[in-house]
Amino acid sequence: MNKRLPSALFALTLLTTAACTPAPKENKVAAPGASVSGTVELWHFFTEREADAIDQVIKDFESTHPNIKVTVKSGQDDSKVTQAIGAGNGPDIGLSYSTDIVGKFCSSGAWVDLTPYITRDKVDLNQLNATTRSYTEFGGKRCAMPFLADAYGMFYNKDLFAKAGIAGPPKTLDELTEDAKKLTVRNPDGSLKTVGFLPLYDFYENAAAHLAPAVGAKWLTDDGKSAVGSDPAWKTLLTWQKNLVDWYGYDKLTKFKAGLGDEFSADNAFQKGQVAINIDAEYRLAFLKDQSPNLKYGVAPLPAADPARYGGGYVTGNIMGISKNAKNPEAAWELIKYLTTDDAAVTKLAGLIKNVPTTTKSIADPTLNADADFKAFIDIFNNPNSSTTPPSASGPAYQETFGQFLVNYQAGKVKDLDAGLADADKKVNSVMQLGG
């Protein structure tokens, strides 16, 4: 009898574990015109100034929707939202900072398909920027809506440009190389004092995703497999970057980089004038205003390999969705609809949080466009050459796996680029299988 006890306990635990796993729940949409009321819970990741901005717009929503009360929980990251949904206690609405979760949340049904709500309320999705539309759906299922966006471009130091005799920002990768060399200052011992452009992939915002629009490189093939080995654009980007790294000397660049301050601190290398050209997004404008008000800088689109591609950049953004176990999905949709498609609300949020707006009218808002630097990012956002990273069921696995290869390549550990890219393809495909 005693010998059977452990086996019985094991079986009981297995049954309990299996039984405790949440089962899918069908989501029913109310009839058109049905009144919506009650409490809705919103979890977002913002803190401090940005969280205050959300609160302001939520107050506006509550004043126009008096029957709906919104409970806001700030500082909630994706893993907390995932665990809460998995445990059956997900918030009505989750607001994520990353488009990387769209693939998993759509395919697993963790966020419900919003199409029935969109169809019922006749919401015109064409008012949303095309890139943001693409990163908020996966596998034909629209489970998210874009909540503001980030556009990546190039910041350059005007004083250093003038000192080096450079008239304006580079428009091609070749011009970027040329300017980077002119702007670079070395110490008497050969070490780097000021760097024109720091090309290492693991420096600040130089991730491959942010540089890919410069060459129009594709991440995935139409059947969802890795394209890094087959798309020649990657080879163009990698070769250009490696040539510039080799001109500086990888060891010298690494040493220089090691002494720089943290990206999100007042010691940011661009803000301190240690780096003359930097890849960054529109949110840097707020940091510059706050931490480096005396820095003379300009903003421009990312230089492109082909001049015809100039004007674009990397686009990403925050996303919102309704949990499959939302207690009040109708009220949740009302709030999402307000925050993502109401032009006045989107414009106000963009102005307060200093992110790019996503609807046609808010994009054209004269107040937001009055700031020339901010307008430059709105233009990048609207440019047809801008691109994003495609959603995947395994999240950012394909980007991070390729990122590992790039780090090894720039360090000189990959001798044969073609063979290396082919191997990277295999690794990316292998890791992507984790998503199913």
Where along the sequence are the contacts to another protein (CB under 8 A)? 9-10, 13-14, 16-18, 21-24, 45-47, 75, 77-79, 82-83, 85-86, 97-98, 104-105, 108-110, 202-204, 254-255, 257-264, 394-397, 400-401, 404, 407-408, 411, 413, 426-427, 430-431, 433-436
Distances (CA, A) of 375 to 56, 159, 300, 301, 345: 24, 22, 10, 11, 19
Q: Least separation, in Å, of the C-beta of 63 and another protein?
A: 28
Residue placing its CB nearer to another protein in the complex, 22 or 116: 22
Q: Least separation, in Å, of the C-beta of 161 and another protein?
A: 24
Specify burial of residue 235 (Cβ count, 10 A radius: 0-12, 13-18, 19+). Answer: middle
Residue 84 tokens, joined: 């809460």
Residue placing its CB nearer to another protein in the complex, 76 or 359: 76
Q: What angle do the packed helices 417-432 and 397-410 form, to 10 degrees? A: 160
Q: What angle do the packed helices 173-183 and 232-248 form, to 10 degrees? A: 10
SS3 43: strand
Q: Least separation, in Å, of the C-beta of 347 and another protein?
A: 23
Q: Among residues 40, 160, 54, which one has the least CA distance to residue 90?
A: 40
Evaluate whether 335 touches 70 at the Cβ level (below 8 Å): yes
Q: Least separation, in Å, of the C-beta of 134 and another protein?
A: 21
Residue placing its CB nearer to another protein in the complex, 93 or 300: 93
Return the amino acid letter for 345. Answer: A
Residue placing its CB nearer to another protein in the complex, 122 or 415: 415
Q: How many residues does the chain have?
A: 436
Evaluate whether 396 touches 301 at the Cβ level (below 8 Å): no
Q: Least separation, in Å, of the C-beta of 59 and another protein?
A: 23
Q: What is the DSSP string of 51-89?
A: HHHHHHHHHHHHHH-TTEEEEEE-S--HHHHHHHHHTT-
Residue placing its CB nearer to another protein in the complex, 174 or 251: 251
Q: Least separation, in Å, of the C-beta of 416 and another protein?
A: 18
Q: Least separation, in Å, of the C-beta of 111 and another protein?
A: 9
Q: Among residues 419, 345, 407, 381, which one has the least CA distance to residue 199?
A: 407
Residue placing its CB nearer to another protein in the complex, 124 or 246: 246
Q: Least separation, in Å, of the C-beta of 177 and another protein?
A: 23
Return the amino acid letter for 229. Answer: G
Residue placing its CB nearer to another protein in the complex, 74 or 134: 74
Q: Least separation, in Å, of the C-beta of 265 and another protein?
A: 9
Residue placing its CB nearer to another protein in the complex, 20 or 167: 20
Q: What's the number of CA atoms in the CB half-sphere (13 Å) around residue 382?
A: 15
Residue placing its CB nearer to another protein in the complex, 20 or 34: 20
Report d(CA 97, CA 77) in Å as an integer.
8
